[in-house]
Amino acid sequence: MARLSFREQVLRVRQDAIVAAVNRLLADKGFDLMTVDEVAAEVGIAKASLYKHFPSKEALAAAAMVRLLERTLAFIDQQAARQEATPAQRLEAMVRWALTLQLAGEMPTVPSQNSSLRAELMAHQGYLDLLMQVSDRLGAWITEAQAAGDIDATLPAELVLYNIYARACDPVPAVLKAGGRFSDAEVVELVTETCMRGLRPRR
């Protein structure tokens, strides 16, 4: 692999800082309330400099979603290496991980009905490739868990997949945390158990 020049290293560090700032703002405020000015201010650069890296607010959000999917794939790889874990246990770990990220303020949230953002994401080949990889890997575990009798085989596999995805933007953890009765760890366990219980076969 060719070594990056000093200028290229600086640009990459700045780009990473921008994406990290976007991730935090999306997790805290959401796409609609986040502004490009806020991103530039958090990174400590001029808005004009930010636009050299990302041409729009939508492109910024897409970059944050790509970073999230990269982290998700890395976690999937970790779970795949757990030889003792069943597919259902790996899926449960994914739910727990997503909820933990959300409660830590590290889970970016984007609206599903924003047409300009959706167009940006659908045109982003890197995002689409990563999303397909994540879906395929989780889908294989779902199929295996259903065959093993750990997840209700009468449920459509895509419904199970979307149920797991939905935990990334589930409003329940934040509500429970705000109530002050439960610790973050307790919230994660409560919501994870509720989610997985609904996917188990009817006895």
Tally: H helices and E strands in the chain: 10, 0
Query: What separation in angstroms does the CA of 87 have from each of 47, 91, 140, 144?
Result: 46, 6, 9, 6
Q: Do the Cβ atoms of 8 and 26 come closer than 8 Å? A: no
| Maximal CA-CA distance, the chain | 62
Q: Do the Cβ atoms of 135 and 74 come closer than 8 Å? A: no
Task: Tell which CATH architecture fits domain 6-199.
Answer: Orthogonal Bundle (1.10)
Tokens of 103: 């409660």
- The candidate with the shortest Cα–Cα distance to 43, out of 11, 9, 7, is 11
All structural domains of the chain with their residue ranges? 6-199
pLDDT in tens, the chain (203 residues): 567 676 777 778 889 999 999 999 999 999 999 999 999 999 999 999 999 889 999 999 999 999 999 999 999 999 999 999 999 999 999 999 999 999 999 999 888 788 999 999 999 999 999 999 999 999 999 999 999 999 999 999 999 999 999 998 899 999 999 999 999 999 999 999 999 999 999 86
